[in-house]
């Protein structure tokens, strides 16, 4: 008993309209539930050019970080290896009447990055906000 003998067989087809509706609802849902977070960045004050040169001499504190991790401030080695020792040495190296002293960090190429970060944090704790890095030109 084949009742469908005379009929031609219909090919199944995919109805795209409901699928598009579902995809649009999913896209709207994802757009509404997405959170946009802001990443904290460093605030950098770029220098501006002045027409007049400043006559005031800035106080420079030279900090050297050796490959072994030793810290030398103004050619004097720091006694102790922790941040409090570096903070005390930085505060002792800056004269009390100095206005906006600059910390210049000279780090060996093989020095641990963490040690340089420790020096930067110690400078911040000592109240020294102007930090600069010394570089050396590549030899040819």
The mean pLDDT value for 6-34 works out to: 86
What's the chain's average pLDDT? 81
Residue 94 CB contacts under 8 Å (≥ 6 apart), including other chains: 59, 61, 101, 126, 128
Number of structural domains found in the chain:
1
Q: Which residue has the higher pLDDT, 138 or 92?
A: 92
Q: Provide the residue range defining the domain that includes 124.
A: 60-133
Q: Which residue has the higher pLDDT, 137 or 33?
A: 33
Has residue 139 been placed in a domain? no
CATH classification at residue 97: 3.30.420.270
Has residue 34 been placed in a domain? no
pLDDT at 41 exceeding the cut of 70:
no
CA 11 to chain centre: 61
Has residue 55 been placed in a domain? no
Has residue 26 been placed in a domain? no
Has residue 92 been placed in a domain? yes
Has residue 126 been placed in a domain? yes
Q: Which residue has the higher pLDDT, 132 or 140?
A: 132
The mean pLDDT value for 36-61 works out to: 65
């Amino acid at each position: 008993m084949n009742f469908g003998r005379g009929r031609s067989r219909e090919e199944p087809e995919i109805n795209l309209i409901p699928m598009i509706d579902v995809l649009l609802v999913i896209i709207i849902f994802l757009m509404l539930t997405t959170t946009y977070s802001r990443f904290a960045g460093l605030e950098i004050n770029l220098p501006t050019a002045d027409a007049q040169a400043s006559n005031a001499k800035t106080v420079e504190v030279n900090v050297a970080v050796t490959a072994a991790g030793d810290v030398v401030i103004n050619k004097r080695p720091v006694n102790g290896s922790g941040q409090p020792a570096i903070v005390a040495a930085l505060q002792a190296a800056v004269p009390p009447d100095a206005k906006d002293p600059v910390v210049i960090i000279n780090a060996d190429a093989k020095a641990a990055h963490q040690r340089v970060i420790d020096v930067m944090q110690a400078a911040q704790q000592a109240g020294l906000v102007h930090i600069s890095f010394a570089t050396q030109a590549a030899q040819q």
